[in-house]
Amino acid sequence: MRRYELDTSYQGNMPNEVEFTLDNRYVVKIGDERFYNLMGETMLSAFNGLVHPDDVMGFEQFINSDMSVRYCIVRCLIKNASYRWMLLVKKRIYEVGTDRMVELVAQDIIVISNDFDMYYHRVRKYRAIINVIDEKIFEYDPVSGMITIYCYRNNKSEIFERTSLKEWKEACITKGFVTGDDAVQFEALCTAIASGMNNFIVKLSSSIMSKGERVDNLIFRGQSLLADGENRITVGVISEPDRRTRTVQEYVGVDEAKLDLATGIYNKKTVTDMITDDINKTAVSDRNRQMFLMILDIDNFKSVNDSYGHYFGDEVIKAFADSLKLSVGGRGIVGRIGGDEFIVLIKDVTIEELRIMLKAMRKGLKVSLAQKQPEYMFSTSIGIAQFGKDGSDFETLFKIADAALYIAKEKGKDRYIIYDYNKHGDILADMKHDIAFGSGFMKPMAKYELATNIVMKVSLGMMTVKEVLSELTDKLNIHGISIYSGNDMECIYSTGHYKNNVIEAAYVNDDKFVNHFDEYGVNMVNNIASLTIEFPEVFRKLRDNNICSFLQMKADGADGKEYMVEFDIFGTNRRKWSDTDVIMLRMVVLGVVNAISGQLTD
């Protein structure tokens, strides 16, 4: 190695941490044995002479700063005549006479990085062990006064309790989770935890873990340990000797009775029963508990089956379920309720934690599904209802989450919607009519039923075209509808409060504009601003008529003419037309055009 070369190799015999003190002239006043083993006993007396020239300015600013600046990374020359990356940690500043002294710890970044990898491997190993045992773990932090009870499931922590020790103690006593002689034992347990007793074992019978549902024989084993050099925390395990017998009884035949065979997660009956049970218990014992019910599905899943076949579709469903289960981990219950639709109950997370979780979940699902077919743009939509805030029973929360899912679809998919009354209105009240308040949408099944009913009636002459247009504007919150026909696309029917009279739409037959219609004769424009460059005259015409979004559909009539139906949205509240809108309106257009061209109705 050349003199003064940067050395980034791992050297196991090198101390990973040394301590020393500098005065205001950067002279080493004190150094421990490890310091001189690393830097050399004949080192220069001024430490800034050992700092790489490019790092000297930053080093000196760090030394001369106050304790608000705790860390600095520099290259230091050690005794083997090579530079090593060092993390300098400022421990304290004090004075000796007129000299300002700075006490430091230097850590070799390469060595501590390697040590971190080693320790992290050990942590993963211990977590894996904890993951397969039945015992729950408890921790008490005397600084915050918080006690946390948790276990590991699917390599993620599942929290059963996180509250102050004082509140936990009071709640367990007032709610009758511990009674009689066991209350005395429970008092002793809380005292041992709070005082940081070195080692303790407390046995008692209580319904603490089941929150009043059943009485369990519990054994608390704990000890204290030094957490950060100053404060001691109390840690331990909670054993339930009777749990193994109960677990075996509960899960006999679980593969056949409780799991969805296609995905390996809970089936519809099991997951709805489990979630309902959890919600009902929480409604009685702790209405302030943070829980969220989520309904989610794969966007455009029908086209996956159509494009790649049902066998591939089954693989996508399985991959989706695996990724979803991994994302949720021990924080909730996951199940499949049909087709590509899933349900999740998330427990003990805040709204901020939920948003972060959802962001990571959606990205994880995308990556997982993309591995199945990189060319396909997979995404998922999610609707969420919050326990307590939106409702305290399964049926109410399910309906709200389901409606929120549909709002996510209406807004363009590939997103999540957490229901908010101020944004989305009283969904439950309007669901009696299958209409979402304030958003003017119907649920998919209701739309298809509406389309089928209209087509049947107009074909039999039981409904006029004008009545059809009125029905659609009313039920689907469409502001204006116009029907055109012939080479000049002359308007033959129109309804809605247009600013100007609707006369014709000949531009749709121009060769350049025709290319914007797909193979089914559909042209969807969510924002007319997209037309400004290519079709400026069309843009001005639409703008002058107060149109901001439109959906155009062409169809050939029985009389040999070409027809077009245009659905318009006015003002600035642009609309993203959903797949459901397109499909059901296409059904209506074909029925109406057939009726008009066959002269079955006026």
- How confident is the model over 256-312, as pLDDT tens digits? 568 888 888 999 888 998 999 889 888 888 888 899 999 998 888 877 777 778 778
Packing angle of the helix pair 301-308, 310-328 (nearest 10 deg): 140
8 Å CB contact between 175 and 285: yes
Spatial distance between the Cα atoms of 297 and 402, rounded to a whole number of angstroms: 11
Q: How far apart are the first and last CA of the chain?
A: 95
pLDDT for res 257? 67
3 state DSSP class of 159: strand
Say if residue 249's pLDDT is above 70.
Answer: no
Q: How confident is the model at residue 248 (pLDDT cuts 50, 70, 90)?
A: very low
Spatial distance between the Cα atoms of 567 and 498, rounded to a whole number of angstroms: 12
Spatial distance between the Cα atoms of 331 and 292, rounded to a whole number of angstroms: 11
CA 495 to chain centre: 43
Which residue, chain included where needed, has tokens 């996951």?
334
Q: Provide the whole-model pTM.
A: 0.46
Residue scoring higher pLDDT (594 or 431): 594
Partners of 338 in the β-ladder: 341
Packing angle of the helix pair 394-410, 268-285 (nearest 10 deg): 120
Spatial distance between the Cα atoms of 502 and 489, rounded to a whole number of angstroms: 11
State the average pLDDT over residues 42-46.
Answer: 65
8 Å CB contact between 221 and 203: no
pLDDT for res 428? 64
Q: How many other β-carbons are positioned within 10 Å of the β-carbon of residue 84?
A: 22
Two tokens at 135? 């015992």
Which domains, from first to last, does the chain contain? Answer: 17-114 (3.30.450.20), 134-244 (3.30.450), 257-433 (3.30.70.270), 444-597 (3.30.450.40)
The chain-wide mean pLDDT, for the chain, equals 84
Angle at the Cα of 278 from the Cα atoms of 272 and 284, rounded to 5 degrees? 135
The model's pLDDT over 338-378, given as tens digits with 9 standing for 90+, comes to: 888 999 999 988 888 888 888 878 877 777 777 767 767 77
Phi, psi of 90 (to 5 degrees): -85, 115
Task: Tell me, letter by letter, the H, E, C secondary structure of 276-323.
Answer: HHHHHHHHHHCCCCCEEEEEEEECCHHHHHHHHCHHHHHHHHHHHHHH
Two tokens at 251? 């899960």
3 state DSSP class of 377: coil
Host H or E run for residue 74: strand 71-77
8 Å CB contact between 546 and 498: yes
8 Å CB contact between 264 and 321: yes
What stretches of 215-354 adopt beta strand conformation (E)? Answer: 216-226, 232-239, 291-298, 332-338, 341-347
pLDDT for res 589? 94
8 Å CB contact between 527 and 539: no
The model's pLDDT over 201-244, given as tens digits with 9 standing for 90+, comes to: 999 999 888 777 778 899 999 998 887 666 789 999 998 887 65
Q: How confident is the model at residue 102 (pLDDT cuts 50, 70, 90)?
A: very high
